[in-house]
Amino acid sequence: MTRQLTPPWPAECRAAFSLSFDDGALSQLKYAAPMLTEADLPSTFYLNPRGDYYLDKLAPWREVAKAGHEIGNHTMAHVCSRGFKDDLDAPCLENMTIADVEKDIIESKRRLQQIAPQQVDMSFAYPCYMEHVGCGLTRQSYVPAVARHHVAGRGKGEFPFPNQAATMDLHYAWSWPAERMPGSQMVGLVEACVAKRSWGILTFHGIFEGHLSVSEGDLRELVNYLKANHSRIWTAPVAKVARRIVDWRKENGI
Ligand SMILES: [Zn+2]
């Protein structure tokens, strides 16, 4: 026997969609945040509140939060695998413990709450999409540490599979990297979510900036599509969609 429930999207919406942006790139402040605010498409910006002057450096993001966007946790240190660097002394996940990571994400969240004090829930994005510490025999997932402090964690998934509200791991939600993706392909992914009544998440970095860039025109194409289809596609921040799924799961005993 199969057990399928109607997903918890509001009103007549047939899918949920989230745009997420990593690393606090300046082009996100310049292009993405104003475009999304103007289109009334609240989104998620994952920041790294590192250093002694994080409050000054992140000050422009207060306005982004006030406009209704989510400020998400992307850790202070942004540590990834040492495989990206040929340097045994560089900070890396292989040399960290779960306790090391948890300490970082608790402090990072505390700092980001200062930027967005009005925000109820906060989601987390795994730096480099990696959710482990250690190596080989000592390798362990730190997803449980994220789950202790966040309503959701955003990782990386496979094309074209979106998140299913009933069965997904909310603390390793799948997202699709958007870099170099044409707007028409992004729209195709949105419609794949509609067909499956599911939740799609795109991960952006720079807009016309950096090595993981998308063009302003491609982002504009997606934004215009979501705006025009807002009655059938619910665009919301990661934490907001996750909270709705949590409540719906409780109601349905999932
Ligand atoms: Zn990052």
Answer whether residue 8 is part of any domain. no
In a domain, 2, yes or no: no
- Please identify every stretch of the chain with a pLDDT value under 50, giving residue numbers as ranges: none
Ligand 1 centroid, distance to 1 Cα (angstroms)? 42
Residue 122 belongs to a domain: yes
How many folded domains does the chain comprise? 1
| pLDDT for res 125 | 98
Distance 27 CA to ligand 1 centre (A): 15
Please indicate, yes or no, if residue 7 is contained in any of the structural domains. Answer: no
CATH code at position 162: 3.20.20.370
CB crowding 30-44: b at 16 or more within 10 Å, else e: ebbbebbbebebbbb
Residue 1 domain-assigned? no
- 6 falls within a domain: no
At residue 184, the pLDDT reads 98
Output the pLDDT for position 5: 86
Q: Is residue 132 part of a domain?
A: yes
Q: What is the pLDDT of residues 161-202, one digit of tens each?
A: 999 999 999 999 999 999 999 999 999 999 999 999 999 999
Q: Cα of 23 to ligand 1 centre, how many Å?
A: 5
Helical axes 216-228 vs 183-196, angle rounded to 10°:
30
What is the Å distance from ligand 1's center to 140 Cα? 20
pTM for this entry: 0.97
**Residue 193 lies inside a defined structural domain of this protein:** yes
Centroid of ligand 1 to alpha carbon of 188 (angstroms): 25
| Pure H helices in the chain | 26-27, 33-38, 54-57, 60-66, 98-115, 143-147, 183-196, 216-228, 238-251
* Residue 156 alpha carbon to ligand 1 centre in Å: 12
Q: What's the pLDDT score for residue 214? A: 94
> Residue 18: exposed, middle, or buried by beta-carbon count in 10 A (0-12, 13-18, 19+)?
buried
| C-alpha 176 to ligand 1 mean position (Å) | 14
Range of the domain at 194: 15-251
pLDDT at 44: 98
Distance 189 CA to ligand 1 centre (A): 22
Q: Which pLDDT score is estimated for 1?
A: 57
Asked if 180 contacts 203 with a C-beta cutoff of 8 angstroms, the reply is: no
Which phi and psi angles does 184 have, rounded to 5°?
Answer: -65, -35
**Cα distance between residue 62 and residue 56, in whole Å:** 11
Residue 25's φ and ψ, nearest 5 degrees, are -60, 140
